[in-house]
């Protein structure tokens, strides 16, 4: 047998970004996640991942990603092992490729929360186990699966609906753009000129026929919106400067901005939140907020992703 990890598990399914999966597979994951939450899926009462193990690599701090993946894996019968920056060799002399080769011999799936997208891609290239993108500086696809699930719980099918993003064109904005193309909804992205989402992502989505519009006026962007979304003004790794805050101040989601959307529009935020910055307390703690459902749904969406990666759905 060749001495390569790739020869051991050649049929892995990576969950790297929404644009890399089919619309059908993304929909399957959402539907299974909702059934697991409702307790109507057969796997909700069994242990389909018994004997399976998940390695979780954290190069960035985490609350929701760690808890949701760990509990999700254990509820499905599997085991987890956590590798944090201080307790692993990744980035401390051992190459990403070697880490991938070694972990592939131990575990059935790898989740990584890292900085550069290149680390994620290199891990996937050399891993014979499925690799899941738990977050990079460029995208956050697991969060988007929970967000789509949450929207559909509250407002029905997301297809054809209008979502508005107001704030920094960061990794969450990028994944919302991917989602607009894959789930067929309209997306208005309101960002300062200096903090726009990556042009190649916008071009990709528009080439796919997605209704993605980039604007500078948040009030115009929320007109007719079914959902308003924002994120922290300072992502992990970004410089916390007064210039950034000054640029984003006009994009704060407050009661006035929510009032410009549809009367029954919902508010989303992936957390952690900073009241008085990207949104006001009256919005995130108000009746239109579905933030806590959104946070809970990370658990259920992660279970759907794990089942898909391991070939059970």
pLDDT per position as a tens digit, 174-226: 999 999 999 999 999 999 999 999 999 999 999 999 999 999 999 999 999 99
**Is 140 assigned a catalytic role?**
yes
Q: Which of 34, 140, 162, 269 is catalytic?
A: 140
- What's the maximum distance between 2 C-alpha atoms anywhere in the chain? 65
Please give the average per-residue pLDDT across 129-139, as a whole number: 97
Q: Which of 227, 231, 302, 303 is catalytic?
A: 231
Q: Which of 109, 138, 143, 302 is catalytic?
A: 143
**Is 231 assigned a catalytic role?**
yes
Q: Is the pLDDT score of 2 beyond 50?
A: no
pLDDT digits (tens, 9 = 90+) for 219-275: 999 999 999 999 999 875 566 677 899 999 999 999 999 999 999 999 999 999 999
CB 280 within 8 A of CB 252: yes
Query: How far is it, in rounded angstroms, from Cα 65 to Cα 137?
Result: 15
Q: Which of 113, 138, 269, 300 is catalytic?
A: 113
Query: How far is it, in rounded angstroms, from Cα 209 to Cα 226?
Result: 20
- Say what the pTM is: 0.94
Average model confidence (pLDDT) across the chain:
93
* Angle, alpha carbons 76-81-83 (nearest 5°): 140
Label residue 94 by pLDDT band (50, 70, 90).
confident
DSSP the chain: --S-GGGT-TT---B--GGGS-HHHHHHHHHHHHHHHHT-SGGGGS-TTTT-EEEEEESS--SHHHHHHHHHHHHTT-EEEEEEGGGS-BTTTB-HHHHHHHHHHH-SEEEEE-S-HHHHHHHHHH-SS-EEEEE-SS--HHHHHHHHHHHHHHHS--TT-EEEEES---HHHHHHHHHHHHHT-EEEEE--GGGPPPHHHHHHHHHTT--EEEES-HHHHHTT-SEEEE--SS-TTS---HHHHHHHGGG-B-HHHHHTS-TT-EEEE-S---BTTTB-HHHHTSTTB-HHHHHHHHHHHHHHHHHHHTT--
pLDDT at 91: 57
What does the chain come to in residues?
313
Label residue 61 by pLDDT band (50, 70, 90).
confident
pLDDT at 19: 98
Other beta carbons less than 10 A from residue 281's beta carbon: 11
Q: Is the pLDDT score of 10 beyond 60?
A: no
């Amino acid at each position: 047998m060749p001495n390569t990890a790739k020869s051991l598990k050649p049929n892995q399914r990576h969950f790297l970004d929404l644009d890399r999966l089919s619309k059908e597979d993304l929909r399957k994951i959402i539907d299974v996640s909702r059934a697991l939450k409702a307790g109507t899926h057969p796997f909700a009462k069994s242990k389909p991942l018994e004997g399976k193990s998940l390695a979780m690599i954290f190069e960035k701090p985490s609350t929701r990603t760690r808890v949701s993946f760990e509990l999700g894996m254990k509820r499905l019968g599997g085991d987890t092992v956590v590798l944090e920056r201080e307790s692993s060799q990744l980035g401390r002399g051992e190459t990403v490729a070697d880490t991938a080769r070694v972990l592939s011999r131990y575990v059935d799936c790898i989740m990584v929360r890292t900085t550069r997208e290149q680390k994620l891609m290199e891990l996937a290239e050399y891993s014979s186990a499925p690799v899941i993108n738990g977050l990079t500086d460029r995208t956050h696809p697991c969060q988007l699966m929970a967000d789509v699930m949450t929207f559909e719980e509250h407002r029905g099918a997301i297809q054809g609906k209008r979502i508005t993003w107001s704030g920094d064109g960061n990794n969450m904005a990028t994944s919302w753009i991917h989602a607009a193309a894959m789930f067929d909804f309209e997306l208005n992205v309101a960002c300062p000129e200096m903090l726009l989402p990556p042009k190649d992502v916008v071009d990709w989505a528009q080439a796919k026929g997605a209704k993605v519009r980039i604007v500078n006026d948040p009030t115009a962007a929320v007109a007719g919106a079914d959902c308003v979304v924002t994120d922290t003004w300072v992502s992990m790794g970004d410089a916390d400067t007064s210039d950034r805050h000054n640029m984003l101040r006009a994009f704060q989601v407050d009661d006035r901005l929510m009032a410009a959307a549809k009367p029954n529009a919902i508010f989303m935020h992936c957390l952690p939140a900073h009241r008085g910055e990207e949104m006001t307390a009256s919005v995130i703690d108000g009746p239109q907020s579905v933030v806590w459902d959104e946070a809970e749904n990370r658990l259920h969406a992660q279970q759907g992703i794990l089942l898909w990666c391991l070939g059970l759905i």
